[in-house]
Amino acid sequence: MKMVNITIDGINMQVPEGTTILEAARQANIRIPTLCFLKDINEIGACRMCVVEVKGARALQAACVYPVAEGLEIKTNSDKVRRARKVTLELILSNHDRECLTCVRSNNCELQKLSKELNIRDIRYKGEQTEHDIDDLSLSIVRNNNKCILCRRCVSVCQNVQTVSVLETVNRGFNTKIGTAFDIPLANTPCVNCGQCIAVCPVGAIYEKSDIEKVWDAINDPDKYVVVQTAPAVRVSIGEAFGMPLGSRPTGKMVTALKMLGFDKVFDTDTAADLTIMEEGTELMHRIQNGGKLPLITSCCPGWIKFCEHNYPDFLDNLSTCKSPHEMFGAVLKTYYAKKMNIDPAKMVVVSIMPCTAKKFEAGRPELSAAGYPDVEYVLTTRELAQMIDEAGIDFVNLEDSTFDDPIGEASGAGVIFGATGGVMEAALRTVADILSGESLPVEKIEYTEVRGVEGIKEAQIEVGGKVIRACVAHGLGNAREVLDRIRAGEAEYDFIEIMACPGGCVNGGGQIIQPSEVRSWIDLIVERTKAIYAEDRSMPIRKSHENPYIKKLYDEYYGEPGSEKAHHDLHTTYQQRANYPLDN
């Protein structure tokens, strides 16, 4: 790598040629404000918030996209630069709905922060303001273009990372906006509800459809028995909302907070993840042993499921018929548990706290209702939980720990790693290996590190119990598309594939606490949160799903064995091809 000499604000330094001014400045501990920039996802130099003076250049240059060359002299905080940034920001603000007080992103908004930093006290431009309708017809995603600053991060993530491509910049000039084809509501497009657009939006222009009020109502209804469950990935992000460092896992505090909010029972979705493994592992073994449809593809991610229904209907038979873990849990609660505890399932309300927006849509699928009621009534994101904790005045950081409720309380480490890419695969392998080999493999043999890690597509040939399983793990729908296209073209063959819609899996789900570009661009959220997931796995006394005593009991008392008729009725589901836009039929 060729190094070049540059000067930033009088500091001489050496950096690799081609480094952007923004990155070089960071190395010199100089912060340049940015707005549209999000590393690796949106590097398009659109907003001009990051302008700097480059000696010899006539105009100011956008630091986020300007590559350094030998001898470059840069000024990042001259009067000219400061004024230019202020004008740019005031122009953006002049066409922005500035109701911060009632905005979902207040206090976690990149635009608000910038206005404070750049000392904006008055907006000198009073131009015409565009007015947009709010699109809130989707069960998962709300779009409010009145808050949009046209940074295009959502478009980039939807098109380039997810390859769903329902968001686009439309119209021109003053009428430019982020929209869908023909302004069709997101609910009627092939949007998969992954919420990655929410996670990257710097402002409050995209957010989840909130179910907080409905959950408060249920909690306050004395007739209702309100049960809450939390997904594995929630515990490794929730702390961020309360100023805890990335990678914290305040599981015990989270449970305490949930109890304080007034839920009747607090359960761990991980337990259901163990159940999923029993069912899915059995399905895999059956398909391998009886010449069934392969590859088997995991079904715990509703973002991926909808993507498949829209774009790869020819793979619907490859999908595992297992419901996703939280839906399985809902089904168990309203059947087995209701009976056992003598609770009328009609009075039971199941709330799932998820790192995910796609699960809001999933909960509305009519086919997911084992006991004649929805398996899960409401899905709240990690962010919504943090909001409720705030609303209740709970001092999260200083809470004592408590543990999940029995009898469906304990989970195995296998259930926990569901939250990370490769986790479902690994959990399944732990169980399948034991069953096929007829022995209980020791701890040092159950960490399948080849399926872990942040690489977009991971492949491995794994020997379990004398059989070689050709495995593939893909996360991010662009990667999923690549794998499926290869299979369609006959270029690849697998037995078992794990697909998660969100890059990194659920730890980086669209419902997690939002980290601004300034953090996300330089620290890998996925790595930090994933470390916490595997630490939690290692801290668990039981690390394989089939060794979870509660799961054993559930089969002994109720379902008989994995894949039984009863299990099929309650724990499995069906899929359907979906139209991409209303006119397709």
Partner 1 sequence: MGSSSCSCSVADEKLLKLQKIIEENRNKKGALIHVLHEAQTIYGYLPIEVQKVVAEGMGVPLAEVYGVVTFYAQFSLKPKGQYKISVCLGTACYVKGANLVLQKLDEELGISVGDCTNELRFSPESCRCIVACGLAPVITINEDVYGRLSPNDVPNILAKYKE
Query: Could you tell me the smallest distance in angstroms from the CB atom of residue 580 to partner 1?
Result: 8
Query: Quick check: helix, strand or coil at residue 243?
Result: coil
Select from 25, 68, 114, 141 the one that contacts ligand SF4 (CB under 6 A): 141
**Active-site annotation holds for 531:** no
Instruction: Please report how many Cα atoms fall inside a 13 Å half-sphere around the Cα of residue 199, on the Cβ side.
Output: 32
Residue 355: name its binding partner from partner 1, ligand FES, ligand SF4, none (Cβ under 5 to 8 Å by kind).
ligand SF4
Residue 37: name its binding partner from ligand FES, ligand SF4, partner 1, none (Cβ under 5 to 8 Å by kind).
ligand FES
Which of 136, 134, 263, 241 has its CA nearest to residue 187? 136
Beta bridge partners of 459: 472
Catalytic residue among 36, 103, 148, 300: 300
203 binds ligand SF4 (CB under 6 A): yes
**Active-site annotation holds for 283:** yes
**Active-site annotation holds for 384:** no
**Active-site annotation holds for 208:** no
Select from 4, 49, 199, 385 the one that contacts ligand FES (CB under 6 A): 49
The span from the CA of 430 to the CA of 432, in Å, is 6
Which of 405, 417, 255, 246 has its CA nearest to residue 341? 405
**Active-site annotation holds for 194:** no
Of 157-165, 389-397, 400-408, 446-454, which part binds ligand SF4 (CB under 6 A)? 157-165
The span from the CA of 160 to the CA of 409, in Å, is 40
Select from 325, 355, 413, 563 the one that contacts ligand SF4 (CB under 6 A): 355
Of 40-48, 123-131, 316-324, 419-427, which part binds ligand FES (CB under 6 A)? 40-48
Map tokens 């000024």 to a residue: 75
- Order of strands, edge to edge, in the sheet holding 378-381? 265-268, 225-230, 348-354, 378-381
Query: Could you tell me the smallest distance in angstroms from the CB atom of residue 207 to partner 1?
Result: 20
Catalytic residue among 70, 367, 463, 493: 367
The separation between CA 440 and the C-alpha centre of its own chain, rounded to angstroms, equals 33
Main-chain phi, psi angles of 67, to 5 degrees: -80, 140
Of 30-38, 84-92, 497-505, 535-543, which part binds ligand FES (CB under 6 A)? 30-38
The span from the CA of 543 to the CA of 280, in Å, is 17
The span from the CA of 200 to the CA of 518, in Å, is 11
Binding mask 124-163 for partner 1 (x = CB under 8 A): -----------------------------------x----
**Active-site annotation holds for 300:** yes
**Active-site annotation holds for 327:** no
Residue 463: name its binding partner from ligand FES, ligand SF4, partner 1, none (Cβ under 5 to 8 Å by kind).
none
DSSP string for 425-491: HHHHHHHHHHHHHTS---GGGS--GGG-SS-SEEEEEEEETTEEEEEEEEESHHHHHHHHHHHHTTS
The span from the CA of 164 to the CA of 180, in Å, is 12
CB 475 within 8 A of CB 456: yes
Q: Which of residues 500-529 bind ligand SF4 (CB under 6 A)?
A: 500-502, 505-506, 509-510
Select from 34, 298, 357, 412 the one that contacts ligand FES (CB under 6 A): 34
**Active-site annotation holds for 299:** no
| Sequence-ordered list of residues with C-beta below 8 angstroms from that of 29, at least 6 positions apart, any chain | none
| Sequence-ordered list of residues with C-beta below 8 angstroms from that of 22, at least 6 positions apart, any chain | 32, 34, 37, 50, 63, 64
Residue 45: name its binding partner from ligand SF4, partner 1, ligand FES, none (Cβ under 5 to 8 Å by kind).
ligand FES
Q: Which of residues 167-186 bind partner 1 (CB under 8 A)?
A: 167-172, 179-182
Main-chain phi, psi angles of 431, to 5 degrees: -80, -45
The span from the CA of 396 to the CA of 368, in Å, is 34
Binding mask 294-323 for ligand SF4 (x = CB under 6 A): -------xxxx-------------------
Catalytic residue among 253, 334, 359, 360: 359
| Sequence-ordered list of residues with C-beta below 8 angstroms from that of 341, at least 6 positions apart, any chain | none
Query: Could you tell me the smallest distance in angstroms from the CB atom of residue 205 to ligand SF4?
Result: 4
Instruction: Please report how many Cα atoms fall inside a 13 Å half-sphere around the Cα of residue 418, on the Cβ side.
Output: 33
Q: How open is the CA angle 40-45-46, to the nearest 5 degrees?
A: 115
Query: Could you tell me the smallest distance in angstroms from the CB atom of residue 10 to ligand FES?
Result: 22
With CB atoms as reference, the residue minimizing the distance to ligand SF4 is 509
Query: Could you tell me the smallest distance in angstroms from the CB atom of residue 163 to partner 1?
Result: 9
521 binds ligand FES (CB under 6 A): no
Dihedral of alpha carbons 39, 45, 48, 54, sign? positive
577 binds partner 1 (CB under 8 A): no
Q: Which residues are catalytic?
A: 280, 283, 300, 320, 359, 362, 367, 506
What are the residues binding ligand SF4 (CB under 6 A)? 141, 148-154, 157-158, 162, 164, 166-167, 178, 191-197, 200-203, 205-206, 301-304, 355-356, 358-359, 500-502, 505-506, 509-510
* Residues near partner 1, by CB under 8 A: 159, 165-172, 179-182, 189, 580-581, 583-584
